[in-house]
Amino acid sequence: MSGEAAAPQVAPEAAAPEEPEEAELGGRQLAETLDDDIRKAVTLEESLSMFGKHWVGDITGGLGTAMNTKSVSHPVDAIDDFLSHDWATPGFVKYITLSIVYNSVPATIVGIILSMVFGILQIFMKPLRRMAPMNIMVGGTTYTVDSVGYFGLGMGLFGFLTTLFLWQRVRKLFCFRSREVFMDKLCIHQTDPNLKAKGILGLAGFLALSDRLVVLWSPRYFTRLWCVYEIASWLSQRKSLLKIQMEPVAQGAFVACVMGGMSFLMVVMVWLARLSNIVYGIAMGVSMMAVVPLPLHIIRRSVRDLQRMPAQIHNFAFANAECFCCSVNHVIPNTGITIPCDRDVINTKLNVWFRSEDGTKSPEDMFNEYVRESFKKYILNRVGGSKVKYTLAVIATLPGWFFITDRFHILYEIDGNDSWRLFSHYLAMTFGVFPCILRTSLWIAVLFDKVFGVRENMGADILVTILAACCVCGFIGGMLFAMIGTLSIETVWPQLIVLPLVGFVTIYLFQEDLFTWWKQLRGEKATAQGSVDASAKKADEDKVQVEVSV
């Protein structure tokens, strides 16, 4: 709880003690509309500026302490994204997650283009291919070609990382419109107690103005009262569930691990390429076993966090959400000032928002049901557990593509037919095999947790990781062997079977993403109320059918 006390999320207490009689429940009401003096947002560029300086450090400036930030927010009529997060998660983790959410697609495009430019340069500028010659077998012919350089890989990574952290800046330089976001620390006044209280009590008003709700999800998220309140506001306003974007904060570590591990493997592969086939295979196996366990261990931990999301949603209960005020028994530590309970204020609002028409369910039960049902239906099929979004899987495995760009000259130099075979092989690897390997590796990691349980003992846990790594490496080796095997033999048909198969498996593994894209493309709107009604209707229909069949 120490983090909570240092940076309390519930700031009204900080403001309220000025006028104790105002601090009574009657004086503090949650508002759904915003006065002009507090209706403010910041640009995304500002929110992510200076490598996330606004996200790190003491958020509220401590209870009653004025914070020396100059105001960067400005009045708005509409907000693009409401950024919802809990305070205890480290700021830099949230910053990296946001960079991935907003900047990773342009970063990927820049990385791909830059690596391709250097790949193409290597076709014409032989000195760029710095390594010893190597053999490559395509369609039954063994070609001896100049080996690859590192320019595609290096420049690809450079382009990706710089764009990832500077994209919003670049956009501003070119005068693109920046997204307007609500970030509590910057949009709610931090030094004027009245404005601060007004801002916090008006969170629902900010949500009403927002087009999307971007949730930086950590395992703590659903346990925090104010986070839960933000979700409740969204649902009560009948805003679309498809506009809630759950972004687990674990994805930063995940992307870093996969990218780091893969880049290292690619460098090793280039070095080993001069070896004969059998030695190469053994050496690759050994290096894979050296590289895979560490990222896998870290990933296992973040997947474990993600595993908690389905359970949290399944067992969601508003009554279990915690708040700062209750944790300190409504007395501000070291000051003795008593503070009112946020739970009472929020409870009052909940009673207004979720009143059932026939009065059979309590507002709290209705809200719980909305979260459990609609989140299960619209959120959990996209995130949580071992699920990784397709775009994120492609992004994390980008070093694989960068590596391929260093081999473009081979495409140029070998026989036309074989060149096409090699090219489609490369495409299938980047957009099919690598993401599928990642998804399956996560699944293997989860499976190992299921079989062996979560080990508290570090040694035992590492042992499980190594076992899982053997499984993952064996799987990756098998996949690569099948892909390279069908590529190298003279007959074409095995490859003609394997390539579409890769496509089908990719679509199968990432089908939820396709469904979501489809729904978004059609502008479908799904509300919690609608989804609960629909499942109730379906349950009724099922009942009728059972009765009929009986």
Write out the residues near Zn ion by the rule CB under 5 A.
325-326, 341, 343
**Secondary structure tally for the chain: helices H, strands E:** 26, 8
In this structure, what token pair is assigned to residue 475? Answer: 């799987």
Choice between 269 and 341, CB closer to Zn ion: 341
**Least gap, CB of 28 to Zn ion (angstroms):** 12
**Total Cβ atoms within 10 A of residue 316:** 20
Residue 234 Cβ vs Zn ion, minimum distance, rounded to whole Å: 23
With respect to Zn ion, which residue has the nearer C-beta, 194 or 327?
Answer: 327
In the sheet that 40-43 helps form, which strands lie side by side, from edge to edge? 74-75, 40-43, 180-182, 79-84, 210-217, 244-248
Return the DSSP state at 237: T
Residue nearest to Zn ion (CB): 341
Provide the token pair at 547: 């009765």
Angle, alpha carbons 158-162-166 (nearest 5°): 170
Please state, in angstroms and rounded to a whole number, the distance separating the CA atoms of residues 195 and 203.
13
CA distance 378 to 239: 13
Nearer to Zn ion, 228 or 394 (CB): 228
**Minimum gap (Å) between residue 326 Cβ and Zn ion:** 3
What is the smallest separation between the CB atom of 76 and Zn ion, expressed in angstroms? 32
Q: How far is the CB of 82 from Zn ion (least distance, A)?
A: 24
Query: What is the smallest separation between the CB atom of 88 and Zn ion, expressed in angstroms?
Result: 17
Got the DSSP string for 1-58?
-HHHHHS-S--HHHHGGGSTTTTSGGG----SS--TTT-EEEEHHHHTHHHHTTTSS-
Q: Which is nearer to Zn ion, 325 or 442 (CB)?
A: 325
**Do the Cβ atoms of 272 and 291 come closer than 8 Å?**
no
Nearer to Zn ion, 33 or 335 (CB): 335
The answer to whether the beta carbons of residues 132 and 82 sit under 8 Å apart is: no
Least spacing, CB of residue 332 vs Zn ion, in Å: 12
- Residue closer to Zn ion (CB basis): 94 or 343: 343
Rounded to 10 deg, the angle between the 251-272 and 91-124 helix axes is 30
Angstrom distance (rounded) from CA 245 to CA 43: 19
Minimum gap (Å) between residue 342 Cβ and Zn ion: 6
| Nearest CB to Zn ion, comparing residues 338 and 391 | 338
Pick the closer one to Zn ion by CB: 135 or 347. Answer: 347
Residue 438: exposure state from Cβ atoms within 10 A (0-12, 13-18, ≥19): buried
Q: Which is nearer to Zn ion, 69 or 327 (CB)?
A: 327
Nearer to Zn ion, 56 or 328 (CB): 328
Other Cβ atoms within 10 Å of 290 Cβ, number: 13
Kindly state the smallest distance separating residue 331's Cβ from Zn ion, in Å.
11
Q: What is the rounded CA–CA span in Å between residue 237 and residue 243? A: 13
Rounded to a whole number of angstroms, the minimum distance from the CB of residue 345 to Zn ion is: 9
Q: How far is the CB of 318 from Zn ion (least distance, A)?
A: 14
Q: Closest distance between Zn ion and the C-beta of residue 340, in Å? A: 8
384-403 burial: b if 16+ Cβ within 10 Å, else e: bbbbbbbebbbbbbbbbbbb
Please identify, using beta-carbon distances, which residue of 30 and 249 lies nearer to Zn ion.
Answer: 30
CA 215 to chain centre: 10
Closest CB to Zn ion among 330 and 455? 330
| Nearest residue to 466 via CA among 341, 232, 348, 290 | 290
CA distances, 128 to each of 123, 304, 369, 426 (Å):
9, 44, 61, 21
- Residue 408: phi and psi, rounded to 5, are -55, -35
Residue 167 vs 222, nearer CB to Zn ion: 222
Q: How far is the CB of 206 from Zn ion (least distance, A)?
A: 22
Tell me the three-class secondary structure of 367-433, residue by residue.
HHHHHHHHHHHHCCCCCCCCCCCHHHHHHHCHHHHHHHHCCHHHHHHCCHHHHHHHHHHHHHHHHHH
Instruction: Name the amino acid, one letter, at 286.
Output: V
